[in-house]
Amino acid sequence: MQICLTHFLPFAMLHIMFTPQKLYEGKAKILYTTDDPTILLTVFKDDATAFNAQKRGTIVGKGDINCAMSQHLFRLLETQGMATHLIDCPTPNTMRVRAVKILPLEVVVRNIAAGSLCQQTGLELGTSLTPPLVEFYYKNDALGDPLLTGDRLQLLHLATPAQVAQLRTMALQINAVLSEFFDKCGITLVDFKLEFGLDQQQTILLADEISPDTCRLWNQAESDPNLRVMDKDRFRRDLGQVEEAYQRVLERVLAQDF
Ligand code: UDP
């Protein structure tokens, strides 16, 4: 199938004719091949889902915002020595990335208790978690992305013990860098989800995105538990002003140099 890329490729690239294949369409992004097998193109969508896609909607401008924010934060992490899949962003909602084999894991880091941790443990919302909690979930929509134990990770051969140890170390390093960065933005990084992939040399690279879709972000200037929310919980919990919150996060992130 010939896909018209003219709406998201710069004019300089239009002379390069190729037939991109849609490799995968997820809830928030579409992945295309390029003429280089080591490079893929991610298109960030405005579509929003929650509760394992039971709730669906649109957050206008989200694709551009999440792409720009992910690019800025991946660059920040690269300056701190962390390898990511980012190459560059040819247009506002497209990111060229190194092709990796995504590990079927969602790595969640938590600094403050919220969301499923409170629901499943009874911990009070806002409880400080020191040291931060690192959790592994099975990236499997059909099963509802269940929380994994170390033994289940090995049982299902989802990653080797050495890879699990490395993912945990990388997740904590990323958390340290991002927490300090968001703090300078006047935002508390409550928790977030990361995805990783293996390149052809089996090196683990940070992949996917880092955005208000995948992080809980609380405005430090607000103490009200609803007003402080600057992330996808505004959509999940029908708090309103979703687009405005995403835009405010992006402005603060882009204003903060590194
Ligand atoms: N998260 C995500 N994708 C998922 C599940 C969780 O990006 O499929 C993020 C979520 O936005 C939050 C963190 O991971 O920042 C922890 O989410 P939690 O386990 O509390 O689940 P939730 O309450 O969001 O269902």
Backbone conformation region of residue 52, classed left if phi is above 0, alpha if psi is from -120 to 50, else beta: left
Torsion of CA 72, 76, 78, 84, to 10 degrees: -40
Q: How many CB atoms lie within 10 A of CB 243?
A: 17
Mean pLDDT across the chain, nearest whole number? Answer: 94
Instruction: Identify the pLDDT of residue 41.
Output: 98
Instruction: Identify the pLDDT of residue 3.
Output: 41
DSSP string computed for 106-147 = EEEEEEE--HHHHHHH-PPTT-EEEEEEEEEEE--GGGT--B
**In this structure, CATH architecture of domain 101-255:** 2-Layer Sandwich (3.30)
Model confidence at 64: pLDDT above 60: yes
Q: Where are the domains of the chain?
A: 5-98, 101-255
Residue nearest to atom 6 of ligand 1 (CA): 193
Residue nearest to atom 3 of ligand 1 (CA): 214
pLDDT, tens only, 131-161:
999 999 999 999 999 999 999 999 999 999 9
Q: Which two tokens stand for residue 144?
A: 């509802």
Instruction: Judge whether 200 and 101 are in contact, CB under 8 Å.
Output: no
216 CA from centroid of ligand 1 (Å): 8
For the Cβ of 72 lying below 6 angstroms from any atom of ligand 1, the answer is no
Pocket test for ligand 1, best of 44, 59, 108, 140 (most atoms within 8 A of CB): 108
- What's the CA gap between 219 and 203, in Å, rounded? 35
Instruction: Identify the pLDDT of residue 181.
Output: 98
Model confidence at 8: pLDDT above 80: no
Residue nearest to atom 21 of ligand 1 (CA): 116
**In this structure, CATH architecture of domain 5-98:** 2-Layer Sandwich (3.30)
